Amino acid sequence: MKFTITDNDPGSRARTGMLDTAHGVVETPAFMPVGTRGAVKALSPRDLREVSSQIILCNTYHLYMRPGEELIRDLGGLHAFMGWDGPILTDSGGYQVLSLAAMRKITEEGVSFRSHLDGSSHFLTPEKVVGIQQALGVDVAMVLDECIPYPASREYVKASTDRTVRWARRSLEASRNPDCALFGIVQGGVLKDLREDCAARLADLPFDGYAAGGLGIGEGPALLAEMGAFTAARMPEDRPRYLMGLGKPEDLIHGVRSGYDLFDCVLPTRNARNGTLYTATGKLSIKNAAFARDPRPVDEGCPCYGCRHFSRAYLRHLYVAGEILAAYLNTLHNVCYYQRLMTELRGAVRDRSSLENVAGGIWDLPEPVA
Amino acid sequence: MKFTITDNDPGSRARTGMLDTAHGVVETPAFMPVGTRGAVKALSPRDLREVSSQIILCNTYHLYMRPGEELIRDLGGLHAFMGWDGPILTDSGGYQVLSLAAMRKITEEGVSFRSHLDGSSHFLTPEKVVGIQQALGVDVAMVLDECIPYPASREYVKASTDRTVRWARRSLEASRNPDCALFGIVQGGVLKDLREDCAARLADLPFDGYAAGGLGIGEGPALLAEMGAFTAARMPEDRPRYLMGLGKPEDLIHGVRSGYDLFDCVLPTRNARNGTLYTATGKLSIKNAAFARDPRPVDEGCPCYGCRHFSRAYLRHLYVAGEILAAYLNTLHNVCYYQRLMTELRGAVRDRSSLENVAGGIWDLPEPVA
């Protein structure tokens, strides 16, 4: 995998780049729609392309559980299986083991847990997690890490972060496929010295990219913004930086400003299914009775199929009636909004225009962090 | 509305035709996907077009209840509201009042009932039902009728059918819009003399087309096939004939053979959501474990987006995981199958080839009726 920085914003750490993967080039900063179980909810690959998605994220934990990485490998790999010929990044499952699985137990060797689907027992190691992702045939794999709960004691954070670094080294040693890039994950809770130490030790290892993990799990927006920016600033300049799992529009803008290149979040797709849509003037809840007779599209300036053909009144009707088409049109719209936001962010970096004015300046950004 | 017969099958009553409506021409025989609440479940208008749908059916009862025909009229009519620019036929709601509504009471004037949504009281008359459909701005409206339960006494069937004929006359008198065709509905239960009498009395009225109603409600496949063919044979040659609500593949083939030109049924869309898919070798239940590692498409010869890009294994995975994309891909496939079947039926009539061999001859047809 090759990463080329094409522009730097003089007013912030933001940059644009080209991430050259085994399945094509990604212009960064980029947002990855989430296809947890091998499908972005309600969208087909052609829909994803239509709204300018370049790369998607899938979940190792879910695909390992069902249908299993061997089945996917035997059917030609995840790209062929799900019909997406662009780049795929998989997370490592560390976060899902924490949030979904039962009876979780972490040892130096790995993590044992019970499946959220059928209660079956599993044991994942850093080596096995790399092996699963390489069996899936993805373009970017993530190392197994522990997503540290918040709050946690300094002792816990230190011991966990040290183990995450040891696991990162083992993951690198287990990596067999040069077409599958491997990213390290910086942990360290909300303790700056531990974050800095973790970033430095991972930077000494030959990862293809670096991610910030363990953020957005209860520390609050101010600390999140601060720790996100602090972590990005301690990652190598010449590698892609990935802010994991965070994706309010303001998180994306602040993340780009802080020097991140990749983002993923379930927010646009999940909100769509709940009827919350992103527009030029902010969020809108389509189920609201105020839209019952509203002939306007969800967002006048949006080029998505839904905004070109349907009124808010129709989308409200579909949502209230529980029509599947509501999930489709809403999801397509929100992913379109997110990809347009990313396009605008890349343009702002290239044109040296202010990132604060992106998306009409409607999203409340945290204070920039030095 | 203009109807032109283009070919007649010498071996049966089948014919091809062109139905010229205010929103374009329909090549008949045609299958209408069902968009009950102003949306064909899981499909957008562009999906419907992609799989060669020419005309769709919507439900007067559902749209009258929610969001209401006045709202739709004020927003430019049903075509604009749902983004479908092709022809739309609406049923009259007679069947839904019978099957969905509570506290149903039929008088000479009309039918009173309570909404299945909120329990509110309603009173529909033949005139009001025509008015609702013309407010929706559809291309073909159906008269209000009573769908007679099965079994029913001869007295009940006779009284009900006589009233349906009186309602049909009132419907014609209430019709105000020359761009909205009006079809009469032949009732008469499973009693041939009453069917014949009803058909003859309706044929004396200047309807744009004729439908067979009250079939497929418990009388069994043999009687259904017989009554369907009997009814078609007693409808005017020069008007489109519509077999309401029946749509197993064998019903369509037999229906075409019997002289029908229009069909609608929820079967392809409902079955899709239950994982039952139509193929060149019959029906297939995609949830079956036998498909877990099956690399083949659902149907080798099918040109639909799903069959061109995804394996049975992937579709099974989506279905088992409960992904919304399963409903989309399955529905697109089944509607594609149905429209290809209709294309093949039209071709067989034109080419004077046997209707029995359509779809590979895999569907068990009832005995042809003289």
Are the C-beta atoms of A245 and A216 separated by less than 8 Å?
Answer: yes
From B9, B91, B197, B208, the catalytic residue:
B91
pTM of the entire predicted model:
0.98
Q: Do the Cβ atoms of A186 and A244 come closer than 8 Å?
A: no
* Catalytic residue, candidates B47, B197, B264, B299: B264
Whether residues A317 and B42 touch (CB distance < 8 A) is answered with no
Q: What is the pLDDT along chain B (370 residues), one digit of tens a residue?
A: 999 999 999 999 999 999 999 999 999 999 999 999 999 999 999 999 999 999 999 999 999 999 999 999 999 999 999 999 999 999 998 888 888 878 899 999 999 999 989 999 999 999 999 999 999 999 999 999 999 999 999 999 999 999 999 999 999 999 989 999 999 999 999 999 999 999 999 999 999 999 999 999 999 999 999 999 999 999 999 999 999 999 999 999 999 999 999 999 999 999 999 999 999 999 999 999 999 999 999 999 999 999 999 999 999 999 999 999 999 999 999 999 999 999 999 999 999 999 999 999 999 999 876 6
Strand-pair category, B140-142 with B88-91? parallel
What's the pLDDT at B59? 97
Q: Check CB contact under 8 Å for B39 and A323.
A: yes
State both tokens at A203: 């930077």
Kindly determine whether residue A317 and residue B46, on different chains, have CB atoms separated by under 8 Å: no
Nearest Cβ partner for A81 among B42, B71, B314: B314
Please confirm, yes or no, whether A74 is among the known catalytic residues: no
Count CB-CB contacts under 10 A for residue B47.
Answer: 21
Closest partner residue to B83 (CB to CB) among A38, A309, A321 is A309
> Tell me, what's the pLDDT at B102?
82
DSSP state, A322?
T
Residue type, A209: G
State whether A324 and B41 contact (CB < 8 Å). yes
Percentage of chain B surpassing pLDDT 70?
Answer: 99
Mutate to test the interface with A, among B81, B293, B317 (most CBs of A within 10 A): B317
| DSSP state letters, A39-69 | S-TT--HHHHHHTT---EEEEHHHHHHTT-H
* Among candidate residues A247, A48, A18, A287, the one with its CA nearest the CA of residue B67: A287
Give, for all 370 residues of chain A, the pLDDT tens digit: 999 999 999 999 999 999 999 999 999 999 999 999 999 999 999 999 999 999 999 999 999 999 999 999 999 999 999 999 999 999 998 888 878 878 899 999 999 999 989 999 999 999 999 999 999 999 999 999 999 999 999 999 999 999 999 999 999 999 989 999 999 999 999 999 999 999 999 999 999 999 999 999 999 999 999 999 999 999 999 999 999 999 999 999 999 999 999 999 999 999 999 999 999 999 999 999 999 999 999 999 999 999 999 999 999 999 999 999 999 999 999 999 999 999 999 999 999 999 999 999 999 999 877 6
- Give the number of other Cβ atoms within 10 Å of residue B123's Cβ: 12
Beta carbons of B355 and B361 less than 8 angstroms apart: no
Architecture of domain A2-265: Alpha-Beta Barrel (3.20)
* Nearest neighbour of A327 by CB, restricted to B45, B74, B324: B324
CA B127, CA B182: separation in Å to the nearest integer? Answer: 12
Query: Distance of alpha carbon A104 from its chain centroid, rounded?
Result: 24
Question: Does the beta-carbon distance from A81 to B313 stay under 8 Å?
Answer: yes
Contact A312, A291 (CB under 8 A): yes
Maximum C-alpha span of chain A: 61
Instruction: Report the pLDDT value the prediction gives residue B97, as an integer from 0 to 100.
Output: 85
The dihedral of CA A131, A136, A139, A143: what is its sign? Answer: negative
Look at residue B275 in the predicted model and tell me its pLDDT. 98
Interchain CB contact of B266 with A (< 8 Å): no
The mean pLDDT of chain B is 96
Closest CA to B150 of B189, B199, B98, B100: B189
- Give the helix, strand, coil percentages of chain A, each rounded to 5: 40, 20, 40
Among A145, A208, A264, A299, the active-site one is A264
Question: Which is nearest to A177 in space by CA: A152, A140, A227?
Answer: A140
In A, which residues are within 8 Å of B313 by CB distance? 67, 71, 75, 81
Using a CB–CB cutoff of 8 Å, tell me whether B42 touches chain A. yes
Which phi and psi (to 5°) does residue A74 adopt?
-65, -25
The domain locations on chain B are 28-265
B-interface mutation test, from A324, A329, A331, most B Cβ less than 10 A away? A324
Which of A38, A75, A293 minimises the CB distance to B71? Answer: A293
pLDDT of residue B370: 62
Residue B326's closest chain A neighbor by CA?
A42
Q: Does A319 touch chain B (CB under 8 A)?
A: no
Burial class (CB in 10 A: 0-12, 13-18, 19+), B236: middle
Confirm or reject contact between B296 and chain A (CB < 8 A).
Answer: no
Residue A102, pLDDT score: 82
Cβ-defined contact of A321 to B74 (cutoff 8 Å): no
Which CATH homologous superfamily contains domain B28-265?
Queuine tRNA-ribosyltransferase-like (3.20.20.105)
Give the model confidence (pLDDT) of B11-37 as tens digits.
999 999 999 999 999 999 999 999 999
Check if A91 is active-site: yes
Given a contact cutoff of 8 angstroms between Cβ atoms, the answer to whether B338 and B228 are in contact is no
CA closest to B321 among chain A residues: A37
**Residue pair B257/B25 in contact by the 8 Å Cβ criterion:** no
Q: What is the DSSP string of B256-325?
A: HHHT--EEE-SHHHHHHHTTEEEETTEEEETT-GGGTT--S-S-TT--SHHHHH--HHHHHHHHHHT-HH
Q: Could you count the other beta carbons within 10 Å of the beta carbon of residue B278? A: 28
Is the minimum CB–CB distance between A38 and chain B shorter than 8 Å? yes
DSSP for B134-200 reads HHHT-SEEE-------SS--HHHHHHHHHHHHHHHHHHHHH---TTSEEEEEE--TT-HHHHHHHHH
Residue indicated by tokens 């709940």: A274
